[in-house]
Amino acid sequence: MNQIFKRTTTTTIQCLSSCNTHQSSNINISKTTLLFNKPTTFTSSTTRNISFLKFLNPFNYYNKDDNVNTSQKKRIQYELKEGISWDYKEILNNPNMKLFYGTPRAIPLVQSHDCPKFQAVDLYGKTVDYPEALPSDGKPMLMCVTLKPYFGQHFVDSWTEPWKNRYPHLPVHHVVLYYQNAYKFLGSFIKGSRRTKQQQSGVLEYWSHQPINFLKDVNNIHDTLTISNPLGAYTYLIVDGKIRWKASGKSTPEELDHLFKITQNLIDTKQKEKEKEKEK
């Protein structure tokens, strides 16, 4: 393509040099030649076909830096460089899946995010709406989120078992935000096998189908919950629909200590507010 345009330019220059006696007409000829050759050169059928194929390639969309504006798109760009098995590579290098750590302090109320809105189904087929399904009486509750029902279960247990031992009266939810259609069709069989565990642990389990459409839109639930790897587990302390604390992967003794202190502080603060209201 570049050679054709170069050849056309050379021909025009030769025409100008050979017609010195008519300079004004030569300029008009050169303009006509350039305008004629440019469209002919750049609108050939070959060029259109290549451009069309590039347009249809969805991965070109994520390779552009100006389109990498969400965590999922950044992850897609990284996977294109590292390979599709990036999730499994990460868990090999980080077996406890500590993608972010729980902090010693609660998230300030003005900086906290609302629990995302979505529908879910419990293990018995009852449909519930989030965040309406969460307690609204000021009591803290623990919500663990996984994207695969079995893969991150030991991470979930590392949070829920200590929590239930410390606060048996406070609710715990395990939400499975599955995105693979296989779980959608096999869900009824899998849920039936998990009912016994729910009865023994006291952890209420809910399933919600949240497909990831990389070509059209990105699931903002994953952005709000800072979910970056489907093989991990994500834990949130929620009060009145607000996320006040979060951690990922398997719990550590330090994180559990932070969680219990923050939870107790929130409970005490709420109790003091109620006592002040009674005094008025």
Judge contact between 260 and 166, C-beta under 8 A: yes
pTM, 2 dp: 0.69
pLDDT of residue 278: 81
CATH number listed for the domain at residues 98-279: 3.40.30.10
> Edge-to-edge strands of the sheet including 172-176?
127-130, 118-122, 204-207, 172-176, 141-146, 233-239, 242-248
pLDDT of residue 219: 64
Which bin fits 87, alpha (ψ -120 to 50), beta or left (φ > 0)? alpha
pLDDT tens, the chain, 280 aa long: 444 433 333 333 333 334 344 444 444 444 444 443 444 444 333 333 334 444 445 545 445 455 455 665 665 565 555 555 677 788 888 999 999 999 999 999 999 999 999 999 999 999 999 999 998 888 999 999 999 878 889 999 999 999 999 999 999 999 999 887 777 777 677 888 889 889 889 999 999 988 765 444 456 888 899 998 889 999 999 999 999 999 999 999 999 999 999 999 999 998 988 888 888 7
Nearest Cα residue to 224 out of 109, 87, 71: 71
Q: Using H for helix, E for strand and C for coil, what is the string for the chain?
A: CHHHHHHHHHHHHHHHHHCCCCHHHHHHHHHHHHHHHHHHHHCCHHHHHHHHHHHHCCHHHHHCHHHCCCHHHHHHHHHHHHCCCHHHHHHHHCCCCCCCCCCCCCCCHHHCCECCCEEEEECCCCEEEECCCCCCCCCCEEEEEECCCCCCHHHHHHHHHHHHHHCCCCCEEEEECCCCHHHHHHHHHHHHHHHHHHHHHCCEEEECCCCCCCCCCCCHHHHHCCCCCCCCEEEEEEECCEEEEEEECCCCHHHHHHHHHHHHHHHHHHHHHHHHHHHC
d(CA 260, CA 159) in angstroms, rounded, equals 11
Judge contact between 206 and 121, C-beta under 8 A: yes
Helix (H, G, I), strand (E, B) or coil at 198: helix
Listed by start position, the domains of the chain span: 2-56, 59-90, 98-279
Sign of CA dihedral 128, 207, 91, 58: negative
User: Token digits for 77?
Assistant: 């760009």
By DSSP bridging, strand 172-176 and strand 141-146 are parallel
Judge contact between 28 and 22, C-beta under 8 A: no
DSSP lists the bridge partners of residue 130 as 118
d(CA 100, CA 236) in angstroms, rounded, equals 12
